[in-house]
Structure 1
């Protein structure tokens, strides 16, 4: 079996276990399967913050959704978060979505991501991420760039 096929099979088994153990309707669907960040180290570190309840939000470029033809998350969406290798670790449910210009994000907003102690630290990390992602996807980071700020809660995880 090819690694991609193994990951997909693992995701489906994880999802079916989630449905069975939580009593959700078997027709429930997940919207996305993803890991955070663009490097293994950061992806796995952010996953750990989610699993311990420190990270309760994420911020994405609206341009990335548009370029990739993906729909913006909506309240009630379920997604599977994986580690860097693609192993499913938890299910999150979107609880709020706000689209806001990058320059209008305050510390009260960004601290929900659970990653930084200051607004400046959050800005440095996210600007670096958006510039790197923009280079690969074909958009340019600006202070006016719309950010999709998604709050979520973990509704299931492997312990």
Structure 2
């Protein structure tokens, strides 16, 4: 039986990072470890956020793993993303070169990639990590 979302967070929207179970697991683990504190998406994706909004992040099996809170949202073109934001995304070696390769591939798989595509760039903070004791029922 799957985990339930802890009581104070049951009203929150849920989402998983990435476009596959493996990528979702990899990225949520970076969040839980405090390495990943930023993310980006296209402005028309359903997971757009506002500062102060909290989300339950799911793992690759759709199980609740943690809660994050958006602290900043900015919009910029793909080719305007800088070293600092790439580092905060926490992926690979945290370089801008790695960020560009990984995100070109990701957005390409979605059929949306272009050098000047508009991205919603979000910074967030980790609120709570769910453990088996807190979320199993």
Same fold (TM over 0.5): yes
Match among 18, 22, 26 for residue 41 of structure 1:
22
Give the TM-score of the pair, scaled to structure 2: 0.85
| Unaligned residue ranges in structure 1 (runs of 5+) | 1-5, 20-25, 135-139
- Structure 2 equivalent of residue 74 of structure 1: 50
CA offset at residue 133 of structure 1? 1.4
What is aligned with 2:37?
56
Aligned length: 130
Runs of 4+ aligned residues of structure 1 deviating over 2 Å after TM superposition are none
1:143 pairs, out of 115, 120, 127, with: 115
- In the alignment, structure 2 segments of 5+ residues that lack a partner are 132-137
Q: TM-score, structure 1 length as denominator?
A: 0.74
- Asked if residue 14 in structure 1 is aligned to residue 5 in structure 2, the reply is yes
Match of 1:112 among 88, 96, 101: 88
Q: Secondary structure at the match of 2:110?
A: helix
Bigger relative contact order, structure 1 or 2, given CA contacts below 8 A and separation 6+?
Answer: 2
Give the RMSD, CA atoms, in angstroms: 1.9
Deviations 1:49-95 (A, max 9, x none): 10010000111112x42xxxx37310001101011111001111000
Larger radius of gyration: 1
